[in-house]
Amino acid sequence: MDLTYTEEEEAFRIGLREWLARTLPMLPPKPDPLDWPARRTYDLGWQRRLYDAGYGEVHWGATPTQHLIFLEETEEAGAPYVGANFVGLLHAGPTIAAEGTDEQRARWLEPVVRGEEAWCQGFSEPDAGSDLASLRTKAVRDGDHYVVTGSKIWTSHAEVADWCELLVRTEPISPAAPKHRGISWLAMPMDAPGITVRPLRTLAGSAEFAEMFLDEVRIPVANRVGEENDGWRVTMVTLSYERGTAFVGEVVACRRTLGLLAAAARENGRWDDPVLRRTLGRLSAEFGALWRLTQWNVSEAQRTGGVPGTGGSVFKLRYSHARQELYEAAAEVLGPDSLDLAQEWTADRLSSLSYTIAAGTSQIQQNIVAERILGLPKGR
């Protein structure tokens, strides 16, 4: 396992660290979490600063190790999260970078890295969650346009997005072909006529997701990334990114949270409970190992020159549960205050519940690990 950094990588780290120290104090105050337009302005403004400083393309233009260093340093410095740029920078962006034409890369990547356009994700449907390939939103060819009708759910950042990475069915489901054939990947302009967005309130009380209804929305055929009916493969590229490096900053944040939990427990006397102490100690060892696993996955991706691989599924399976255990421990540290929504850890505890569901439930991830890595037979 190679844990060393080259001189060039260390220089990258130091330059970034110095820039963060200069820049973060100049940022405007954080917006109200419920004010979506203000959040968009804030998040895109942060991306613009990154771009001006030469870090705009770090999410796909840098080496995996530089990307890791970027995510680690920004998290440790307390820099803003990608926020409304998540889909553009970590999802649609890498997909377009890997699968788009030169023209498509020029059209869509530049505004994302410059902090001018935000993207949302239109993958899941009410009847296509874990079984994503059974999606039914249909696209019918009409000259040089697709006419798209259907509904999407869990569309993060839909209210403020300029573009949506949309999965549609260009070939109806039939018994003759596997259902993952016949899916295409489209870039949909969010101001197109026929789109209705309805915010979806989560159990955490926030509205970061939305339902989206599409009624004969016309999308140019030129907005298709990859071949027609090849969208499933294009999507797998995107999902491997989400399972690969998307959680790097969060692992760093979790390790910092553990330190804060220990300090709070020492303060309020709960540290005297050996069961709680041991729980925090074990989590600390586990998050240390998860961090090493991340570094390893990244160096493997760098070595093989490809996109993050199935090692991401192994990581996500453990990380998602460890994160939930972390906030269960936080609730023990807080005691009765864990019922106070004003406590940051209470909100984090609620949002942690989505981690074993989003981007493939733990059950689906275990199927993936068992079938694709261990080679166990497919079954029912």
Partner 1 sequence: MKDGFRALLAGRFGREALRAAVGSAEEKERSLDRRLWRELGDAGFFALRLPEADGGVGLGLPEAVLVFEEAGSALLPGPLVATHLAAGEVKGAATGETVVTDVDGQLVEWLAEADHVRGDASGARAIRSVDPLTPLHRVGSAQTGISDAAVLLTAALQLGSAGRTTAMAVKYAGEREQFGQPIGAFQAVKHLCAQMLVRTELARAAVYAASVTGEGLDAAGAKLLADDAAVRNARDCLQVYGGMGFTWEADVHLHLKRAWVRSAQGPTAAQVEERYAAAL
Q: Which is nearer to partner 1, 126 or 281 (CB)?
A: 281
Q: Which residue of the set 73, 75, 99, 242 is catalytic?
A: 242
Cβ atoms of residues 329 and 283 within 8 Å = yes
Euclidean distance between CA atoms 94 and 60, whole angstroms = 6
Quick check: 258 binds partner 1 (CB under 8 A)? yes
If 0-12 CB within 10 Å is exposed, 13-18 middle and 19+ buried, where does residue 336 land?
exposed
Among 113, 168, 280, 334, indicate the residue that binds partner 1 (CB under 8 A). 280
Quick check: 288 binds partner 1 (CB under 8 A)? yes
Q: Which is nearer to partner 1, 109 or 261 (CB)?
A: 261
Q: Which is nearer to partner 1, 147 or 314 (CB)?
A: 314
Euclidean distance between CA atoms 202 and 316, whole angstroms = 22
Q: Which is nearer to partner 1, 124 or 295 (CB)?
A: 295
Q: How far is the CB of 255 from partner 1 (least distance, A)?
A: 10
Element (H, E) at 331: helix 311-334
Q: Which is nearer to partner 1, 336 or 380 (CB)?
A: 380
Taking alpha carbons only, the member of 364, 291, 353, 361 closest to residue 328 is 353
Q: How far is the CB of 314 from partner 1 (least distance, A)?
A: 5
Read off the tokens for 316: 């996500």
Residues 6+ away with beta carbon under 8 Å from 379: none
Quick check: 369 binds partner 1 (CB under 8 A)? yes
Q: Which is nearer to partner 1, 139 or 258 (CB)?
A: 258
Quick check: 10 binds partner 1 (CB under 8 A)? no
Q: How far is the CB of 312 from partner 1 (least distance, A)?
A: 11
Q: Which is nearer to partner 1, 42 or 345 (CB)?
A: 345
Quick check: 367 binds partner 1 (CB under 8 A)? yes
Quick check: 277 binds partner 1 (CB under 8 A)? yes
Quick check: 13 binds partner 1 (CB under 8 A)? no
Across 228-249, b (16+ Cβ under 10 Å) vs e yields: bbbbbebbebbbbbbbbbbbbb
Quick check: 380 binds partner 1 (CB under 8 A)? yes
Q: Which residue has the tokens 């990608």?
A: 82
Quick check: 292 binds partner 1 (CB under 8 A)? yes
If 0-12 CB within 10 Å is exposed, 13-18 middle and 19+ buried, where does residue 65 land?
buried
Question: Within 10 A of 108 (CB to CB), how many other CB atoms are there?
Answer: 23
Q: How far is the CB of 293 from partner 1 (least distance, A)?
A: 4
Q: Which of residues 297-356 bind partner 1 (CB under 8 A)?
A: 311, 314, 317-318
Among 24, 173, 262, 350, indicate the residue that binds partner 1 (CB under 8 A). 262
Residues 6+ away with beta carbon under 8 Å from 83: 39, 42, 43, 46
What 3-state DSSP class applies to 296?
helix
- 242 labelled catalytic: yes
Taking alpha carbons only, the member of 173, 154, 319, 310 closest to residue 239 is 310
Separation in Å, CA 237 to CA 198, 241, 309, 310, 377:
28, 7, 9, 11, 23
Binding mask 86-125 for partner 1 (x = CB under 8 A): ----------------------------------------
Number of residues that bind partner 1 (CB under 8 A): 42
Euclidean distance between CA atoms 252 and 267, whole angstroms = 23
Among 101, 174, 196, 366, indicate the residue that binds partner 1 (CB under 8 A). 366
CA angle 200, 359, 287 (to 5 degrees): 115
Q: How far is the CB of 90 from partner 1 (least distance, A)?
A: 23
Q: How far is the CB of 304 from partner 1 (least distance, A)?
A: 17
Looking at the annotation, which residues are catalytic? 242
Q: Residues in the site for partner 1, rule: CB under 8 A?
A: 1, 3, 258-259, 261-262, 274, 277-282, 284-286, 288-290, 292-293, 295-296, 311, 314, 317-318, 363, 365-367, 369-371, 373-380
